[in-house]
C-alpha cells in the first residue's frame, strides 16, 4: 500500500551531502508519510554542478525512450572523463539521441547495462564494452521494488512544474516510477517541451535533489512509409484477423504502421499497448479508436511510453484520453488478457519450420531484447473472452532476399517464442494458424506463406528434418 501511495508523490527529501545510507533511512520514513509534497524547493543548478555527485562505482539509472535526458547524459560523460571516474554503471531502457559514454575510449569510465538494447548501443554490447539484461518488460519494475537493483542516482526528464509544483515524466512511464522510488538521489532535467501526461507520471518538484532547466525538442523517430509488401501484410491482418471492438497492441515500425493505416473502416477499436505511435493519432481523429468496448480503462488509451514525431507528443500533452502507466501493469499478461478481443501484433528476425521464433539476436549478436512481445502475445493468447489473437508478422524475405522462414534458426539465435507460443503467423502470402498443429502440419503451413522462390528448398529441409513429407499427415 505504501509503495502504491508513493507512485503519486514521487521521491523523498534527501540531504545529499550526507552518506547514502542516511538517504535510505529517510526513504523508509517517507513510505510511512507519503501524502504531501516536501516542504522545500529543488536546488536549481547548472547541469555541470548537478552531475558532480556522480562518483566511481555508482549505479546511475537513466530514463529512456524519447524522454532520454540528453543534456544530463552529455554532462555526466564529460564529468566522468574529466575526473577520471572508474566503473560507473549506467542502467536504462533503450535510449534515444547520442550516447557518448559508449565510445570505446570511455570504456574504463562507464559501462552501460541495457534493459532493452537500442540501435545506438548495439555495437558496444556486441563488442563487450556494454551489457544487457534479458528480462520480460513487465518484470523490470520488480528489479527495483525487490531491491535487486538500487540506483545511487536517477537521471530523469520532466515537464515544467505546474502552479502546484507538480511535474510529469511525460512520454515515458515504463520503469521510471519504480527507479525513482528506490534511487537515493534524483536529478531532473526540466524541459518546457516535455508533454504533461496523465497516469503513473506525476511527481512533485520538491522531490528533486537537483533540477536543471534545459529546453530542447524531444527526440523524434519517424519511420519511412511502408513499402508494397508491408502494405499487403497490413491489409491481410486488418481484414482477416482484427475485429471491430478489438483492443490492439502494436510495436513501432513499418508493419504496425501499415496495419493501422488499413484499419480506417474498423469501429470502436481500443489501445492497450506499451508503445504509442503516430499512426494511432490518425485513427483517433478519424473516430476508429474510441476504447468504448474495453473492460478496463474504458474510453481511454493505455500506453507506457510514446515515441514518434512532434505530432504525437502534442497529442499526448494534457490529454485525458490517454493514460501512461508503468510496465508492471501495462505489460502484465494477466491484465492484457482482460481486454476484449485482445490482438497483439509483433514482428521477428527469423523463425524455423517448427515455429520457434528469434526476435532479439542475429545469431550470437544481440540486436534488441525480450521487450514486451512475449508479454502481449501470451496475454492475447489467454484472453479471457477467448477471442484474443497473438500475431507475428513479417515480410517473407529479408532486404537481401534471404527467407525469414528457415529450416533451423541460425547458430546462437535466441528463442524468444517457443513452438507452443506461436499462434498466427502472417506474411504477404497469407496467414498460418499454428495452434494445435503437429510439427509436419506446422511446417506445411509455414511453407505455404514463405516466398515462392524458397518453398522448394524449405520442403526438402522439412523432409530431412521431419523424416516425412510435411503434407502427408494433413
Catalytic residue IDs: 274
DSSP state of 199: B
432 in Cβ contact with 240 (< 8 Å): no
Distance CA 269, CA 263 (A): 9
60 in Cβ contact with 152 (< 8 Å): yes
Tell how strand 430-433 and strand 424-427 pair up: antiparallel
Q: Which grid cell sits at 378?
A: 501470451
353 in Cβ contact with 442 (< 8 Å): yes
CB atoms within 10 A of CB 247: 27
Distances (CA, A) of 126 to 20, 78, 361, 410: 34, 24, 10, 17
253 in Cβ contact with 261 (< 8 Å): no
Give every CB contact of residue 333 below 8 A, 6+ residues apart in sequence.
138, 375, 376, 378, 379, 382
Instruction: Decide: residue 131, CB within 10 A, 0-12 exposed, 13-18 middle, 19+ buried.
Output: middle
Please name every residue paired with 82 in a beta bridge, in sequence order, or none if there are none.
none
Distances (CA, A) of 57 to 111, 396, 407: 10, 47, 46
- Using the structure block, give the residue that is written with the C-alpha cell 481500443: 270
Distance CA 379, CA 449 (A): 25
Q: Which grid cell sits at 288?
A: 476508429
Distances (CA, A) of 21 to 183, 387, 435: 11, 51, 53
Strands across the sheet with 405-406, in order? 357-358, 350-352, 405-406
Please name every residue paired with 352 in a beta bridge, in sequence order, or none if there are none.
406
Amino acid at each position: 500500500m505504501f509503495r502504491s501511495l508513493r507512485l503519486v508523490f514521487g521521491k523523498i527529501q534527501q540531504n545529499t551531502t550526507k552518506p547514502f545510507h542516511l538517504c535510505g533511512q529517510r526513504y523508509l520514513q517517507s513510505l510511512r508519510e507519503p501524502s504531501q509534497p516536501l516542504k522545500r524547493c529543488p536546488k536549481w543548478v547548472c547541469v555541470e554542478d548537478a552531475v558532480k555527485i556522480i562518483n566511481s562505482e555508482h549505479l546511475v539509472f537513466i530514463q529512456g525512450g524519447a524522454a532520454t535526458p540528453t543534456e544530463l547524459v552529455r554532462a555526466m560523460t564529460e564529468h566522468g572523463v574529466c575526473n577520471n571516474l572508474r566503473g560507473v554503471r549506467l542502467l536504462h531502457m533503450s535510449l534515444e539521441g547520442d550516447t557518448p559514454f559508449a565510445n570505446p575510449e570511455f570504456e574504463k569510465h562507464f559501462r552501460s547495462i541495457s534493459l532493452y538494447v537500442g540501435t545506438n548501443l548495439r555495437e558496444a554490447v556486441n563488442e563487450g564494452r556494454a551489457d544487457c539484461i534479458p528480462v520480460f518488460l513487465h518484470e523490470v519494475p520488480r528489479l527495483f521494488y525487490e531491491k535487486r537493483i538500487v540506483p545511487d542516482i536517477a537521471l530523469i526528464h520532466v515537464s515544467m512544474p505546474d502552479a502546484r509544483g507538480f511535474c510529469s515524466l511525460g512520454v515515458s512511464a515504463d520503469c521510471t516510477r519504480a527507479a525513482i522510488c528506490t534511487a537515493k538521489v534524483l536529478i531532473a532535467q526540466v524541459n518546457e517541451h516535455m508533454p504533461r501526461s496523465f497516469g503513473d507520471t506525476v511527481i512533485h518538484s520538491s522531490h528533486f535533489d537537483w533540477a536543471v532547466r534545459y529546453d530542447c525538442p524531444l527526440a523524434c523517430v519517424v519511420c519511412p512509409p511502408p513499402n508494397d509488401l508491408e502494405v499487403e501484410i497490413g491489409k491481410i491482418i486488418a481484414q482477416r484477423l482484427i475485429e471491430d471492438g478489438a483492443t490492439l497492441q502494436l510495436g513501432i515500425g513499418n508493419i504496425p504502421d501499415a496495419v493501422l493505416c488499413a484499419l480506417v473502416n474498423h469501429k470502436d477499436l481500443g489501445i492497450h499497448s506499451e508503445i504509442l505511435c503516430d499512426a494511432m493519432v490518425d485513427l483517433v481523429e478519424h473516430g476508429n479508436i474510441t476504447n468504448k468496448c474495453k473492460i478496463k480503462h474504458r474510453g481511454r488509451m493505455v500506453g507506457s511510453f510514446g515515441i514518434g514525431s512532434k505530432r504525437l507528443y502534442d497529442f499526448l500533452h494534457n490529454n485525458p484520453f490517454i493514460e501512461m502507466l508503468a510496465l508492471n501493469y501495462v505489460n502484465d499478461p494477466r491484465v492484457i488478457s482482460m481486454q476484449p478481443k485482445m490482438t497483439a501484433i509483433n514482428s521477428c528476425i527469423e523463425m524455423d519450420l517448427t515455429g520457434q521464433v528469434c526476435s532479439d539476436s542475429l545469431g550470437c549478436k544481440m540486436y534488441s531484447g525480450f521487450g514486451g512481445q512475449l508479454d502481449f502475445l501470451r496475454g492475447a493468447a489467454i484472453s479471457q473472452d477467448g477471442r484474443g489473437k497473438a500475431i507475428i508478422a513479417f515480410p517473407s524475405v529479408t532486404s537481401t532476399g534471404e527467407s525469414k522462414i528457415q529450416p533451423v534458426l541460425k547458430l546462437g539465435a535466441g528463442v524468444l517464442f517457443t513452438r507452443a507460443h506461436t499462434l498466427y503467423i502472417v506474411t504477404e502470402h497469407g496467414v498460418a494458424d499454428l495452434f494445435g498443429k503437429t510439427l509436419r502440419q506446422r511446417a506445411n503451413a509455414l511453407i505455404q506463406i514463405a516466398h515462392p522462390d524458397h518453398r522448394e528448398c524449405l520442403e526438402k529441409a522439412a523432409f530431412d528434418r521431419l523424416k516425412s513429407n510435411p503434407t502427408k499427415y494433413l
